[in-house]
Amino acid sequence: MLIKTTTFLTALILSHCFTANTAYAQKSLADCKMKDQTINERSRCLDGVKVRLDRELQTWVNNHTFNLEEKALINNRYSALKMFKRSQGNFITFRENDCRWQYLLVSQEKGANLAFKKCYIRLTQLRIKELSQIK
């Protein structure tokens, strides 16, 4: 059952990647660093990357939550599931606070919102990488 579920979720993730809105699908942090962009254009580009990464992160969180719930039903031990949920909540808080101080460090005219969004994207990418390596 777990293998079928994992296979289904993997297929779902891949199909989402291929059918995602093309405005978001091709964008990465590097795509938003073009020199001829205004701050507003770069900000909108980073917004697209944030949306795409938030969706991907949520998919990984849902996948792990589902797997942990399934294991908890089998062995009647819910501590790993509770700890995972706590750790995800702590990550969200950490990401917000870590990026907020970087935002406050930069003046608004020099792109404080860009600093926040770049930080948010980097930390989200790291969390996705971490979750994708857990089996």
Report whether 54 contacts 124 (CB < 8 A). Answer: yes
Give the count of beta carbons closer than 10 Å to the beta carbon of residue 94. Answer: 12
* Domain assignment of residue 60, yes or no: yes
Enclosing domain of residue 90:
38-132
pLDDT band at 39 (very low <50, low <70, confident <90, very high): confident
Token pair for 57: 């992160």
> Which tokens belong to 86?
């706590």
pLDDT at 32: 84
Q: Would you say 83 and 110 are in contact if contact means Cβ atoms under 8 Å apart? A: no
**Residue 106 belongs to a domain:** yes
CATH number, domain of 89, equals 1.20.1270
pTM: 0.77
- Is the separation of the CB atoms in 61 and 132 below 8 Å? no
pLDDT in tens, 74-129: 999 999 999 999 999 999 999 999 999 999 998 877 889 999 999 999 999 999 99
The number of distinct structural domains making up the chain is 1
- Domain-embedded: residue 87: yes
Give the HSE-up count for residue 50: Cα atoms under 13 Å, Cβ half-sphere.
Answer: 15
Amino acid at residue number 8: F
